[in-house]
A and B are shown apart, each in its own frame.
Chain A
Amino acid sequence: IMSVFSEVPQAAPVAVFKLTQDFNNDQHPQKVNLGVGAYRTDEGRPWVLPVVKKVEKLIVHDDRLNHEYLPILGLPEFRSSASKIALGDDSPAIKEERVGAVQCLGGTGALKIGAEFLRRFYNGNNNTKTPVYVSAPTWENHNAVFANAGFEDVRPYKYWDAEKRGLDLNGFLGDLESCPAHSIFVLHACAHNPTGTDPTQEQWKKIAEVMMRRKLFVFFDSAYQGFASGSLEKDAWAVRYFVSMGFEMFCAQSFSKNFGLYNERVGNLTIVARDGDNLKRILSQMEKIVRTTWSNPPSQGARVVAITLNTPELFSEWSDNVKTMADRVLLMRAQLKAKLQALGTPGTWDHITQQIGMFSFTGLNSQQVEYMVKEKHIYLMASGRINMCGLTTKNIDYVAESIHEAVTKVQ
């Protein structure tokens, strides 16, 4: 029988995973992986949060628990507590019973379900021409998620100012003012990936004002709540501000990083609706979308998060664990900047400590990045993005010196 797939072309590998693969294959003793966004301890090891270990033990020993299907929309106690984390316990929108949620497979899954819903029901029915704006630059999968959901017009909005190494607010506001009405904007709630550069509260207010006036759709991507500043409340400020402004909006939440539950795929799509009736209809349609994608979500990770968030002592322990991670990142930022300044590395390095979250946009150009990878065996993304978690007290000198070399030797 002839092959029906003989014309299937070889696809390029996903860059960030290829980077890790290359790192793994590298035998150099001083190699450093500053690629994929996962937390590492100061020993350079993955970290299963102590509270997670504790809760997993509880689950294994609880004979009342089984492996039955979750409801299509997920574990109810997970959905509600996850939304509370984003919106705040005292959120008026929650009190008004117009907040709902869909448990999804990680942040990616939440974006996917939200995108599928928007394509079907936003700005008309199946209006695939509605522009979707993602920041320039953004997490590389944003484009594919919305394109695969059927949107034909995924565009960049100005965000990163490479020259001044900061937010291009005027460019951003300009795009908000000139975009087609009802465009969808994907906003990073905090710890922007890959730049680590967030709007200030005053800047967020300006952004919100334009979006409200021009009737643009707000779709937050919140993958680092707690991880950015160490404070869950602080990191949720933008999301809560937009809710208080009265937007109907989506917020895709990931618990991969702040719970360290990467491979359990724990995510939540929080929906803020105008009222309970709208919410009910929205959720009924979300069910239909979920049913043909994965039927119902995996239970393990959601249980861990739900138990933790709903048990005061465990919640407290989790907050501490999150702060531990955030603090280590802040320390590495401070030390990297100090070392580069001490070395007299050309350029300004304030952005290292001004940026927030897991990533830093170093400003290294692609040739300098290639030098880092090939000559120094330090693996970072072609964009110059580094994962601060990959830095440790043991390798930070080597990394700082290597950056110094790259900047001085390679133009």
Chain B
Amino acid sequence: MALLKSNKVLYCLGNVSPSLGVLSSRNSSWWGGVQMGPPDPILGVTEAFKRDTNPKKMNLGVGAYRDDQGKPYVLNCVRKAEAVIAEKKLDKEYLPIGGLGEFAKACAQLALGADNEVLKSGRNITVQTISGTGSLRIGANFLSRFHGGPRDVYLPKPSWGNHTPIFRDAGMQLKAYRYYDPSTCGFDFKGALEDISKIPEQSVIVLHACAHNPTGVDPRPEQWKEISDLVKKRNLLVFFDMAYQGFASGDIDRDAWAVRHFIEQGHNIVLSQSFAKNMGLYGERVGGFTVVCKDAEEAKRVESQLKILIRPIYSNPPMNGARIATTILNTPELRAMWLEEVHGMANRIIKMREQLVAGLKKEGSSHNWQHVIDQIGMFCFTGLKPEQVERLTKEFSVYMTKDGRISMAGVSSGNVGYLAHGIHAVTK
């Protein structure tokens, strides 16, 4: 019997009766009842931007880094790594289900630090995944199948839009803990602690390791320490999402501090990593998923089950990006080059934040824009209200999402003054 789970689907009752499944005419279709899916809010912004003919238009929805000319940036270390790989004339044989072994190792070392006790004892299992999304999905599937605790996954409010459907499709349920304080455009530390203290034991809590998406608001180290203590007290399973290591502060160790602190404090975390932004490998889909286990024996069991999960989704992951990332991480001059370039990208963002605030002051804005500088990473939660966003788009051709989020990557020294002018105009 067909179960109508979705109240969004309308049936063309004249054509298809779900319980009988009878096609009444040659021209009717199996898919008459399939609704048009809602347009992606971010893509919608880009579509509208493309149609705009204003030469001063700005696309601040884009979640990919742009250089100061507004162009995509292919890292030099990536180009060099590609040349090295091309020389090797490698074959194209299937990778193992868990991906390129050297990649998994380098990926874990990057997150945890090469001298981490976890790595030395072999009690982690790290698999190569289809970038951050693929990692989160494998993790969600793994928890859904093997986590004996509650089905509930607690996300910060707000979180990356795709977190919710990923966990939901994996069979988990979503809840939230307070995170962003709109009155300060900063961290609602008190609210977060209050909410976390009420989370039932063994629930899953998702933490953004650094450069929170979409707010750019990160806890300070002393705040992370308190969160860690509380999470330990509540016996929660920690799922770290680290999509911006290196990209947030410019320093890979600093950006991984929270992850390493939690592990040091005894949390056996699960961790998703992405190399889309920090290596600019977006379309190559490079990521990793790590489970920190009790010991090496448990890690072997967990590994075997991760493979069983991965095989019916895509069999084994793509080689190209993982090969590039591994070459960079394991070749000293390329690694040094990468660290400089990622530092450079982070610095450009930081500079744009400073210039935007300076520009707003110059325009005569009386508002406090300190949060623009305090926030970190690619995104900035400006604090603009939907009506103000609409005006900014209509009157100035500045495209951003309705929640007031802008991608600093879309800001350059050539247009930051214009942006400041527009923001001032709609907020004065």
Stretch of A298-306, A356-364, A403-411 that contacts chain B: A298-306
A148 contacts B312, CB within 8 Å?
yes
Task: Answer yes or no: A263 CB below 8 A from chain B CBs.
Answer: yes
Task: Answer yes or no: B27 CB below 8 A from chain A CBs.
Answer: yes
Instruction: Out of A10, A292, A293, name the residue touching B300 (CB < 8 Å).
Output: A10
Known: A46-B92, A295-B162. Contact between A280 and B36, CB under 8 A? Answer: yes
Task: Answer yes or no: B411 CB below 8 A from chain A CBs.
Answer: no
Instruction: Out of B72, B165, B293, B320, name the residue touching A298 (CB < 8 Å).
Output: B320
Instruction: Out of A10, A36, A60, name the residue touching B94 (CB < 8 Å).
Output: A36
A275 contacts B300, CB within 8 Å?
no
A300 contacts B35, CB within 8 Å?
no
A5 contacts B165, CB within 8 Å?
no
Known: A123-B2, A260-B92. Contact between A1 and B266, CB under 8 A? Answer: yes
The tally of residues in A whose CB lies under 8 Å from a CB in B reads 84
CB distance from B394 to the nearest CB of A (A): 27
Task: Answer yes or no: A394 CB below 8 A from chain B CBs.
Answer: no
A295 contacts B131, CB within 8 Å?
yes
Within A126-141, which residues are at the interface with B (CB < 8 Å)? 126-127, 129, 141
The distance in angstroms between the C-alpha atoms of A129 and B21, with both chains bound, is: 13
Task: Answer yes or no: B134 CB below 8 A from chain A CBs.
Answer: yes
CB distance from A273 to the nearest CB of B (A): 7
A287 contacts B137, CB within 8 Å?
no
Within A148-193, which residues are at the interface with B (CB < 8 Å)? 148, 181-182
The distance in angstroms between the C-alpha atoms of A7 and B330, with both chains bound, is: 36
Within B13-37, which residues are at the interface with A (CB < 8 Å)? 18-19, 21, 23, 26-37
Task: Answer yes or no: B283 CB below 8 A from chain A CBs.
Answer: yes
Provide the residues of chain B in CB contact with A3, threshold 8 Å: 268, 293-294, 298
CB distance from B218 to the nearest CB of A (A): 23
A46 contacts B280, CB within 8 Å?
no
The distance in angstroms between the C-alpha atoms of A66 and B82, with both chains bound, is: 12
Task: Answer yes or no: A342 CB below 8 A from chain B CBs.
Answer: no
Task: Answer yes or no: B83 CB below 8 A from chain A CBs.
Answer: yes
Provide the residues of chain B in CB contact with A256, threshold 8 Å: 94
Within A273-325, which residues are at the interface with B (CB < 8 Å)? 273-275, 278, 280-282, 284-285, 287-289, 291-301
A69 contacts B37, CB within 8 Å?
no
Provide the residues of chain B in CB contact with A7, threshold 8 Å: 146, 148
B40 contacts A1, CB within 8 Å?
no
Known: A8-B305, A284-B37, A287-B37. Contact between A108 and B315, CB under 8 A? Answer: yes
CB distance from B43 to the nearest CB of A (A): 8
Task: Answer yes or no: B308 CB below 8 A from chain A CBs.
Answer: yes
Instruction: Out of A68, A291, A297, name the residue touching B165 (CB < 8 Å).
Output: A291
Task: Answer yes or no: B191 CB below 8 A from chain A CBs.
Answer: no
CB distance from A238 to the nearest CB of B (A): 20
Most buried by B among A52, A67, A129, A291: A67
Task: Answer yes or no: A38 CB below 8 A from chain B CBs.
Answer: yes
A60 contacts B82, CB within 8 Å?
yes
Provide the residues of chain A in CB contact with B235, threshold 8 Å: 1
Query: Please, which residue of chain B has its CB at the minimum distance from the CB of A104?
Result: B314
CB distance from B128 to the nearest CB of A (A): 11
Task: Answer yes or no: A105 CB below 8 A from chain B CBs.
Answer: yes
Task: Answer yes or no: A13 CB below 8 A from chain B CBs.
Answer: yes
Known: A11-B305, A17-B96. Contact between A125 and B298, CB under 8 A? Answer: no
The distance in angstroms between the C-alpha atoms of A288 and B19, with both chains bound, is: 25
The distance in angstroms between the C-alpha atoms of A129 and B168, with both chains bound, is: 21
A11 contacts B308, CB within 8 Å?
yes
Per-position contact with A for B37-75: 1 when CB-CB < 8 Å, else 0? Answer: 100100000000000000000000000100000001010
The distance in angstroms between the C-alpha atoms of A248 and B26, with both chains bound, is: 11
Provide the residues of chain A in CB contact with B134, threshold 8 Å: 293-295
A126 contacts B3, CB within 8 Å?
yes
A109 contacts B314, CB within 8 Å?
yes
B285 contacts A141, CB within 8 Å?
no
B302 contacts A8, CB within 8 Å?
yes
Query: Please, which residue of chain A has its CB at the minimum distance from the CB of B165?
Result: A292
Provide the residues of chain B in CB contact with A48, threshold 8 Å: 89, 91-92
B82 contacts A278, CB within 8 Å?
no
Per-position contact with A for B300-331: 1 when CB-CB < 8 Å, else 0? Answer: 11101101110111111111110000000000
Most buried by A among B34, B83, B314, B318: B314
The distance in angstroms between the C-alpha atoms of A384 and B267, with both chains bound, is: 48
Query: Please, which residue of chain A has its CB at the minimum distance from the CB of B274?
Result: A295
Task: Answer yes or no: A237 CB below 8 A from chain B CBs.
Answer: no
The distance in angstroms between the C-alpha atoms of A9 and B294, with both chains bound, is: 14
Task: Answer yes or no: B284 CB below 8 A from chain A CBs.
Answer: yes
The distance in angstroms between the C-alpha atoms of A8 and B309, with both chains bound, is: 13
The distance in angstroms between the C-alpha atoms of A248 and B328, with both chains bound, is: 47
Per-position contact with B for A28-65: 1 when CB-CB < 8 Å, else 0? Answer: 00000000101000000110100010001100100000
Task: Answer yes or no: A234 CB below 8 A from chain B CBs.
Answer: no
Provide the residues of chain B in CB contact with A17, threshold 8 Å: 96-97
Instruction: Out of A38, A280, A292, A294, name the residue touching B169 (CB < 8 Å).
Output: A292
Per-position contact with A for B79-108: 1 when CB-CB < 8 Å, else 0? Answer: 000110010010111111100000000000
B314 contacts A125, CB within 8 Å?
no
Instruction: Out of A1, A11, A301, name the residue touching B267 (CB < 8 Å).
Output: A1
Provide the residues of chain A in CB contact with B315, threshold 8 Å: 105-106, 108-109, 141, 265
Within A216-264, which residues are at the interface with B (CB < 8 Å)? 217, 246, 248, 256, 260-264
CB distance from A56 to the nearest CB of B (A): 7
Known: A11-B307, A263-B318, A284-B37. Contact between A4 and B313, CB under 8 A? Answer: no
A105 contacts B311, CB within 8 Å?
no
Instruction: Out of A5, A215, A262, A288, name the residue touching B23 (CB < 8 Å).
Output: A215
Instruction: Out of B4, B5, B148, B314, name the residue touching A106 (CB < 8 Å).
Output: B314
Task: Answer yes or no: A385 CB below 8 A from chain B CBs.
Answer: no
The distance in angstroms between the C-alpha atoms of A243 and B297, with both chains bound, is: 52
Task: Answer yes or no: A338 CB below 8 A from chain B CBs.
Answer: no
21 contacts between A and B (CB under 8 A): A3-B268, A4-B237, A12-B304, A14-B311, A17-B96, A108-B312, A108-B314, A109-B313, A112-B313, A127-B18, A182-B21, A262-B92, A264-B320, A278-B29, A281-B35, A281-B36, A292-B162, A293-B133, A293-B169, A295-B131, A298-B130
A interface vs B, CB < 8 Å?
A: 1, 3-14, 17, 36, 38, 45-46, 48, 52, 56-57, 60, 66-70, 72, 104-106, 108-109, 112, 121-127, 129, 141, 144-145, 147-148, 181-182, 215, 217, 246, 248, 256, 260-265, 273-275, 278, 280-282, 284-285, 287-289, 291-301
B interface vs A, CB < 8 Å?
A: 1-6, 9, 18-19, 21, 23, 26-37, 40, 64, 72, 74, 78, 82-83, 86, 89, 91-97, 130-134, 137, 146-149, 162, 165-166, 168-169, 202, 232, 235, 237, 266-268, 276, 280-285, 291, 293-294, 298, 300-302, 304-305, 307-309, 311-321
Closest 4 CB pairs of A and B: A124-B2, A284-B37, A105-B314, A144-B312
Contacts A57-B86, A293-B134, A301-B318 supplied; 5 other A-B pairs, CB < 8 Å: A122-B30, A215-B21, A248-B29, A278-B32, A285-B37
